């Protein structure tokens, strides 16, 4: 029972650290200081933000559907936490249970997340929120197709859906050196799945004034915020597990591996998160037609072609390409 309390607390703490890290890194990109007022070097800024969101008044539009309006952020947050129960985080230790079909479970639960966003946009009874939810639904469905095909290549290469087995198969060489194009496609698709720049069309502040969560405030907005950043951390973990060897170092016989094996996956996840922040500070937002065109006209054919190529090579017993 304790683990079910620790998981949300750990995720909330990780999100707090991530928000501080993101604001600091973006400050460096934009030649400004970033948060530095609350605590030493601004380290208590996430706590101040949390108190602000908790104690602000929750404003509910009078024309909204009250039950669905309040259910949407709760559903989105709960779905963002469920996947952590099957993630092999520290040296193969799973928080709740280890599933042989671990990735299928994560993919299924992640697909349900769009329902919370659609419910929020519809129940708000706002044009901005509704347009944001429609954008999000189309975007997530579009890029989940390519995401599934890319992971299918990794699963065929490894021969297992089990996340721990996928990590252990990279004992001598990481998948990124063999499946580098898949990593690029997966990373860009992960940006689209998590509504991050340059694919933040569902939240586009300059067009939709925050999109599907425009009518949310205080604690209800905080739940959407926590779910979004929890999904970013989850995607970073999946990228590390699929392509960077999980908790395994590049050379597994390295003497430092035996002393710092628990830290390897954290270091890699921080690196991937830094890439998420780097993209946000560097690239402008796509137009919506460009977003959909990239997903259906480029990513889908490329991922299908690469899957077909690998199946052909595998059929002729060429295991490394």
Per DSSP bridges, beta strands 93-94 and 88-90 are antiparallel
Instruction: Give the separation between CA 129 and CA 144, rounded to whole angstroms.
Output: 22
Q: From first to last of the 321 residues of the chain, give the pLDDT tens digit.
A: 666 778 888 888 999 999 999 999 999 888 888 888 888 888 899 999 999 988 888 888 888 888 999 999 999 999 998 888 888 876 656 666 777 777 888 888 888 888 898 999 999 888 888 888 888 888 988 898 999 999 999 998 888 888 888 988 888 889 999 889 999 999 999 999 888 888 888 777 777 677 788 889 888 999 999 999 999 999 999 999 999 988 888 765 555 555 566 678 888 999 999 999 999 989 888 888 898 999 999 999 999 999 998 888 877 765 544
**Residue 3's closest CA among 79, 87, 74, 112?**
87
8 A C-beta contact, residue 286 and residue 199 = yes
Give the C-alpha separation, 110 to 57, whole Å. 30
Residue 275 burial (C-beta neighbours within 10 Å; 0-12, 13-18, 19+): middle
pLDDT at 202: 79
DSSP 97: -
* CA nearest neighbour of 57 among 216, 287, 163, 184: 216
Q: In this predicted structure, what is the pLDDT of residue 305?
A: 92
CA distances in angstroms from 109 to 172, 207, 220, 250, listed in the order given: 31, 30, 21, 31
CA dist 122 and 247 (Å) reads: 42
Where b means 16+ CB within 10 Å and e means fewer, 70-87 reads: bebbebbbbbbbbbbbbb
Instruction: Tell me what pLDDT residue 320 has.
Output: 47
Tell me, what's the pLDDT at 258?
Answer: 57
pLDDT at 93: 62
3-state DSSP assignment of residue 88 = strand
C-alpha gyration radius of the chain? 20
Tally the C-alpha atoms within 13 A of residue 53's C-alpha that lie toward its C-beta. Answer: 17
pTM recorded for the entire structure: 0.91
Return the pLDDT at 318. Answer: 58
pLDDT at 252: 55
In whole angstroms, give the CA distance from residue 51 to residue 271.
29
């Amino acid at each position: 029972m304790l683990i079910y309390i620790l998981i949300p607390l750990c995720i909330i703490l990780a999100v707090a650290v991530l928000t501080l890290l993101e604001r600091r890194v973006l400050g460096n990109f934009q030649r400004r200081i970033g948060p530095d007022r609350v605590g030493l070097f601004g380290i208590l800024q996430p706590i101040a933000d949390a108190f602000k969101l908790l104690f602000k008044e929750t404003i509910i539009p009078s024309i909204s559907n009250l039950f669905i309006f309040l259910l949407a952020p709760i559903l989105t947050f709960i779905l963002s936490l469920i996947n952590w129960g099957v993630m092999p985080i520290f040296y193969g230790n799973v928080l709740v249970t280890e599933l042989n079909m671990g990735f299928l479970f994560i993919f299924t639960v992640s697909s349900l997340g769009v329902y919370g966003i659609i419910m929020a946009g519809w129940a708000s009874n706002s044009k901005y929120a509704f347009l944001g939810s429609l954008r999000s639904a189309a975007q997530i469905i579009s890029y989940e197709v390519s995401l599934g095909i890319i992971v299918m290549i990794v699963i065929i290469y490894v021969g297992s859906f089990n996340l721990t087995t996928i990590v252990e198969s990279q004992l001598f060489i990481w998948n990124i050196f063999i499946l580098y194009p898949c990593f690029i496609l997966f990373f860009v698709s992960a940006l689209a799945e998590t509504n991050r720049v340059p694919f933040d069309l569902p939240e586009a502040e300059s067009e939709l004034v925050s999109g599907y969560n425009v009518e949310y405030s205080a604690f209800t907005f905080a739940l959407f915020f926590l779910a979004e950043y929890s999904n970013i951390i989850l995607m970073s973990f999946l990228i590390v597990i699929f392509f960077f060897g999980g908790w395994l170092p590049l050379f597994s016989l390295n003497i430092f591996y035996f002393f710092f094996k628990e830290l390897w996956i954290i270091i890699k996840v921080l690196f991937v998160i830094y890439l998420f922040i780097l993209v946000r500070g560097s690239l402008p937002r796509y137009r919506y037609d460009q977003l959909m065109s990239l997903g259906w006209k480029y990513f889908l054919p490329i991922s299908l072609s690469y899957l077909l190529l690998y199946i052909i090579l595998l059929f002729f017993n060429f295991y490394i390409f």
